[in-house]
Amino acid sequence: MNQRPKNGPPGSVRIIAGSLRGSKLPVPDRPGLRPTSERVRETLFNWLQPWMHGARVLDLFAGTGALGFEAASRGAAEVLLVERDPDLARSLRDQATRLKVDQVKVLAEDGLAWLGRSPAQAFDLVFLDPPFAAGLWEPAAAALAPWLAPGALIYVECPRNMSPALPPGWTLHREGHTRDVHFALHRAGD
């Protein structure tokens, strides 16, 4: 019998609440792909509840899209998933079609390269949860400024023993941790 390793990625993650509650998203076995745990997502979206309805959301290193689809499920008006892996991006598009969520758009592009463009829109909420081994928190955070709406919220997830240097205008709103990860919600300056 072929079993997934104990610490390997699950075969799927479940959307916790909202209009898509209970829907499952596939988690392919890819190096560096580490979906945000259900427990952390539940805590995060409890924090975000007052800001979700009508929000414009960016999931910069989308991976499975668990954060972006959860935001769409809970009332976000627009969700942009940016994922550089073409197979993952295709899967994200397939999931958006299957779940009939028109407010979710997918770009198959490198997140940092995409941030280097002139912003076409500003986001109220950004999920910054890159592959841990890639070390992209600081360059991505530094490049986000022109993409943020005044007072935007930025979610940052990293290894528990790490503290990435974030822009000085960001203030910590809430934070928590599990055995493996540190997660925090920051507010950008106006």
Q: DSSP letters of 110-158?
A: -HHHHHTSPPSS-EEEEEE---GGG--HHHHHHH-GGGEEEEEEEEEEE
- Per-residue model confidence (pLDDT) at position 4: 38
- Per-residue model confidence (pLDDT) at position 91: 95
Note the residue count of the chain. 190
**What CATH class has 12-187?**
alpha beta
- Per-residue model confidence (pLDDT) at position 190: 67
- Per-residue model confidence (pLDDT) at position 29: 82
* Contact status, residue 65 vs residue 95, Cβ threshold 8 Å: yes
- Per-residue model confidence (pLDDT) at position 152: 97
- Per-residue model confidence (pLDDT) at position 57: 98
- Per-residue model confidence (pLDDT) at position 10: 61
Rg (CA), the chain: 15
Kindly state the tokens that stand for 29: 């076995």
Per-residue pLDDT of the chain (190 residues; tens, 9 = 90+): 333 344 444 688 999 999 999 999 989 888 788 889 899 999 999 999 999 999 999 999 999 999 999 999 999 999 999 999 999 999 999 999 999 999 999 999 999 999 999 998 899 999 999 988 888 999 999 999 999 999 999 999 999 998 899 999 999 999 999 999 999 999 998 6
